[in-house]
A = this chain, B = another copy of it.
Amino acid sequence: MATAMPPTVCWAQTRAGPAVRLIDQTLLPGELVLKDCYVLEEVCEAIKSLRVRGAPAIGCSAALGVALAVYTSGADSTSELISVVEAAAEQLAATRPTAVNLFWALERMRQLAQQSTDLPPEDFRQVLLEEAQGIVDDDLDRCRRIGQHGVELIAKGANILTHCNAGALATAGYGTALGVIRAAHQQSKDIHVWVDETRPLLQGARLTAWELEQEGIPCTVICDSAAASLMQAGQVDCVVVGADRITANGDVANKIGTYAIAVAAARHEVPFYVAAPLSTLDFSLASGQEIPIEQRSSEEVCYLAGRVADPICPEGADVYNPAFDVTPAELIAAIITEVGVARQPLAASLAGLSSEDSSAGCCSSS
């Protein structure tokens, strides 16, 4: 139900062979273009250049990327295919450092490969593809369950602020933060969404506003820096954002700017919620200070996300462009997962929820 959007990322059998098919999000909202990746390198490029982005969607793309690597390999022994899986996982792991779902999905694929040494090559390929598709299906299911748990936190008539895009486009579908918002809308809660434009890459203005418009959910785009003054004016009832990695103590890495919103929300006693599947948890890290933060190109800032030919800064200006920041657990009212809502103290609550679901949870990010 819900959106008429094509899947964010899926497996496709094309005339030219198998492919990982994804919505090229760099072209939205102007054009809805599906890109077929026929080789692993194209999947890696799509992740690096943010054609596909969002922690869960990156995990799904990586799993499908591993499957693509074994399908496009001419290897005729399973041991050779296991080497292909290892090499593909290594290549995919190097695309982006912060979102832990990437490493989680690769680990699932690698483990399955190691457990499948006695299968003949064709069955091995089949089993890996099924696993990748399982990760995708599972992600969609988890998003819907996040929506069901999160909707309980949303009051009728709420003005909800969100940052970046934690929507269908950031997942296999439905979304995490936008999953909660979709569920609230479907329950006729009469909500309105403030959409942070989310500089530098404008995922809020470009992607979230587009997704919400597809669903007919009322929303208003603002510059990121206007969020605090809206809270000051009493115009925000709660904040719901996604996450790229959550550490054992409940610290959350998410799109740059998330921390600023959490600080303003705390000052105005606006509840700050994070919606994320358990695959976003990284119990191997004690706190957010250990999360590696991706630094991206100055051109994203200077050239307005590649949209202008002339730089907005003077020639040669120094630019600092971190992709993420870390919001400390103390500023977070609740973390909404597919198995329930973790509340303060988050560390204990997350550990409890995580133990309810053996298929998800921590992994090493090294």
CA distance A311 to B197 in the complex (A): 12
A317 touches B206 (CB 8 A): no
- A307 and B312 within 8 A (CB): yes
Q: Is the CB of A321 within 8 A of B209?
A: no
| Residue A220 CB within 8 A of the other chain | yes
Within 8 A of B (CB), among A185-206: 194, 196-200, 202, 205-206
Q: With A209-B314, A221-B319, A227-B260 given, name 4 new contacts (CB 8 A).
A: A196-B225, A221-B320, A224-B257, A226-B325
A292 at the interface (CB under 8 A from B): no
Please list 27 pairs of residues, one from A and one from B, whose beta carbons are closer than 8 Å in the complex, sorted by A's number: A29-B312, A29-B313, A196-B225, A197-B199, A197-B301, A197-B312, A197-B313, A199-B223, A205-B301, A205-B302, A205-B313, A206-B313, A213-B316, A219-B317, A223-B301, A224-B224, A225-B260, A226-B256, A226-B257, A226-B320, A226-B321, A229-B256, A263-B263, A263-B264, A267-B267, A304-B308, A308-B308
B325 near A232 with CB under 8 A, answer yes
Residue from B209, B223, B315, B322 in contact with A224 in the complex, judged by beta carbons closer than 8 Å:
B223
CA distance A172 to B315 in the complex (A): 25
Specify which chain B residues have a CB less than 8 angstroms from the CB of A39 in the assembled complex. none
Task: Select from chain B the residue with minimum beta-carbon distance to A267.
Answer: B263
- Say yes or no: A321-B232 contact (C-beta < 8 A), given A264-B260, A308-B308: no
Chain B residues lying within 8 Å of A302, measured Cβ to Cβ, are 205, 221
What is the oligomeric copy number?
2
> In the complex, are the beta carbons of B228 and A260 less than 8 A apart?
yes
Query: Is B318 within 8 A of A220, CB to CB?
Result: yes
Choose one: B199, B228, B310, B312; the contact of A259 (CB below 8 Å): B228
